[in-house]
Chain A
Amino acid sequence: MIQLNRITAKFGFIVSFLFIFSLFVNTVSAQGDADQGKALFQTNCSSCHSLFKDATGPALTGVEDRWPSREKIHAWVHNSSAVLASGDPYANALFAKYNKTAMTKFQGILSDKDIDAILDYIKSAKQPAAPAAGQSGESSQSSGSDNSLLYIIVTGILLVASFILWQVNNNLKKLADKKEGHAAIGHIPWYRNKKIIAFVAILIFIYVGFWLSSNAISINRQFDYEPRQPIFYSHKVHAGINQINCLYCHTNAQYSRHATIPPLNVCMNCHKAITSYSGPALKDAEGNDIDGTAEIQKLYSYAGFKPGPGAVYDPSKAKPIPWIRIHNLPDHVYFNHSQHVMVGKVQCQTCHGEITKMDEVKQFAPLTMGWCVNCHRTTAVQFKDNGFYSIYEKYHQELKDGKIDSVTVQMIGGTDCQKCHY
Chain B
Amino acid sequence: MANNKHWQSFGERKQTKGFQDANKNEFREELLPFEDVKGGFLNAPTPRRDFLKYLGFSTAAAAIAAGCETPVRRVMPYVNKPEDIIPGVANYYATTYVEDGEVISVLAKVRDGRPIKIEGNDLSPITKGGTSARAQASVVELYNTARLRFPTIDTKEVTYEAIDKAILSELAGPVAILTSSVTSPTTLEIINSFIAKFPGSRHVTYDAYSYQGILEANSTTYGKRVIPSYKFENAKIIVGIGADFLGTWVSPVEFSYQYSKNRKIDEKNPVMSKHYQFESILTPTGASADERILHAPSETGKVVAALLSAVNGQSASGISDKKLLDGINKVAKDLIANKGQALVVSGSNDVNVQILVNALNEAIGSYGKTIDWSSVYNTRQGNDADFAQLVNDMNAGSVKSLLVFGANPAYTWYDSKKFIDGLKKVPTTISFADKNDETAQICKYVLPNHHYLESWGDAEPKTGYFSLLQPTINPLFKTRQWQDSLLKWSGNATTYEDYLINYWTAKIGGGVTGWEKALQSGVINPAAEVAAVAVPFNGAAVQTALSKILSASSNIELVLYQKIAIGEGQGASNPFLQEMPDPISRATWDNYIMISPALAKEMLGIDLTNEGQTDNYEVNVMKEVLKLTAPNGQSIELPYLIIPGTHAKTVGIAVGYGRTDKIGKAAIGSGQNAYPLATFVNNALQFTQGGIKLEKTGKTYKVAQTQVHGTYSSVIGGKREEVIKELSLPAFVKDPKQILEGREEELKDFGGIDHFVKQGTIYPYYDKPGVHWGMSIDMNACNGCGACVVACNIENNVPIVGKDEVARFHDMHWLRIDRYYSGDLENPNVTFMPMLCQHCDNAPCENVCPVNATQHSQEGLNQMIYNRCIGTRYCANNCPYKVRRFNWADYTGADSFPNNQDQVAVGKLDASVHDMNEELSRMVLNPDVTVRSRGVMEKCSFCAQRLQDGKLKAKKESRPLKSGENDEWDVKVACQQACPSDCITFGNSNDTKSAVSASRHDNPLRLFHSLEQLHTLPNVNYLAKVRNTDIEVEEVYNAG
Contacts and interface: CB of A to CB of B under 8 A. Distances in A.
Interface stretch (A33-41, A49-57, A95-103, A391-399): A391-399
Given A256-B89, A422-B944, A388 B951 contact: yes
A265 B931 contact: no
A220 B73 CA distance: 12
Interface stretch (B75-83, B342-350, B1012-1020): B75-83
Interface string B853-894: 001011101011111100000000000000000000000000
Contact of A258 (B87, B857, B861): B87
Contacts of B81: 263, 265
A229 B270 CA distance: 71
B960 interface: yes
B79 A264 contact: yes
Contacts of B771: 391
A265 B80 contact: yes
B66 A328 contact: no
B419 to A, nearest CB: 50
Contacts of A390: 960
Interface string A307-341: 00000000110111111110010111010101100
B767 interface: yes
A221 B96 CA distance: 46
Q: Which of B79, B866, B929, B961 gathers the greatest number of chain A CB atoms within 10 Å?
A: B79
A391 B961 contact: yes
B87 A413 contact: no
B952 interface: yes
B25 interface: no
A325 B74 contact: yes
Nearest to A395: B769
A385 interface: yes
Contacts of B769: 392-395, 412
Nearest to B769: A394
A413 B866 contact: no
Interface string A262-300: 111100000000000000000000000000000000000
Nearest to B943: A422
A328 B73 contact: yes
A320 B77 contact: yes
Given A225-B70, A252-B87, A391-B961, A332 B78 contact: no
Contacts of B954: 388
Contact of A260 (B77, B857, B863, B961): B77
B958 A334 contact: no
Interface residues of B, number: 54
B952 A416 contact: no
Nearest to A422: B944
B930 interface: yes
A417 interface: yes
Given A252-B86, A387-B959, A419-B948, A263 B77 contact: yes
B72 interface: yes
B863 A413 contact: no
Interface in A230-258: 252, 255-258
A343 B951 CA distance: 11
A380 to B, nearest CB: 15
B87 A388 contact: no
A227 interface: yes
Contacts of A148: none
Given A334-B928, A386-B955, A227 B863 contact: no
A413 B77 contact: no
Interface in A69-117: none
Interface residues of A, number: 56
The A interface, classified by DSSP as helix, strand, loop or mixed, is loop
A177 to B, nearest CB: 51
A162 interface: no
Nearest to B855: A417
B945 interface: yes
Q: Which of A263, A316, A321, A413 gathers the greatest number of chain B CB atoms within 10 Å?
A: A413
A203 interface: no
Given A413-B859, A416-B857, A388 B78 contact: no
A131 B88 CA distance: 40
Contact of B941 (A319, A388, A395, A418): A418
A258 B77 CA distance: 11
B77 A262 contact: yes
A343 B77 contact: no
Contact of A320 (B76, B956, B958): B76
Contacts of B868: 417
A392 B770 contact: yes
A27 B927 CA distance: 37
Contacts of A325: 73-75
Nearest to B859: A413
B798 to A, nearest CB: 13
Q: Which of A227, A319, A322, A418 gathers the greatest number of chain B CB atoms within 10 Å?
A: A418
A388 B959 contact: yes
Interface in B723-777: 767, 769-771
B962 to A, nearest CB: 11
Contact of A220 (B67, B861, B863): B67
B75 A323 contact: yes
A220 B70 CA distance: 6
B100 interface: no
A379 interface: no
Q: Which of B67, B76, B78, B859 gathers the greatest number of chain A CB atoms within 10 Å?
A: B78
Contact of A418 (B75, B88, B89, B865): B865
B338 interface: no
B849 to A, nearest CB: 12
Nearest to B864: A418
A392 B434 CA distance: 53
A15 to B, nearest CB: 26
Contacts of B68: 219
A386 B868 CA distance: 33
A416 B858 contact: yes
Given A318-B79, A319-B79, A388 B958 contact: yes
6 contacts: A258-B87, A324-B74, A325-B73, A332-B867, A416-B858, A422-B928
Interface of A: 216, 219-220, 222, 225, 227, 252, 255-258, 260-265, 315-316, 318-325, 328, 330-332, 334, 336, 338-339, 342-343, 385-395, 412-413, 416-419, 421-422
Kindly list the 6 A-B residue pairs having the minimum CB-CB distance in the complex, ordered from nearest.
Answer: A413-B858, A256-B88, A315-B80, A418-B863, A416-B857, A263-B78
Given A320-B76, A343-B952, 15 more contacts: A220-B67, A256-B88, A263-B81, A264-B78, A323-B75, A325-B74, A325-B75, A331-B931, A386-B955, A391-B991, A393-B769, A413-B770, A413-B857, A418-B861, A418-B865
Interface of B: 66-68, 70, 72-81, 86-89, 767, 769-771, 855, 857-859, 861, 863-868, 928-931, 941, 944-945, 948, 951-952, 954-961, 988, 990-991
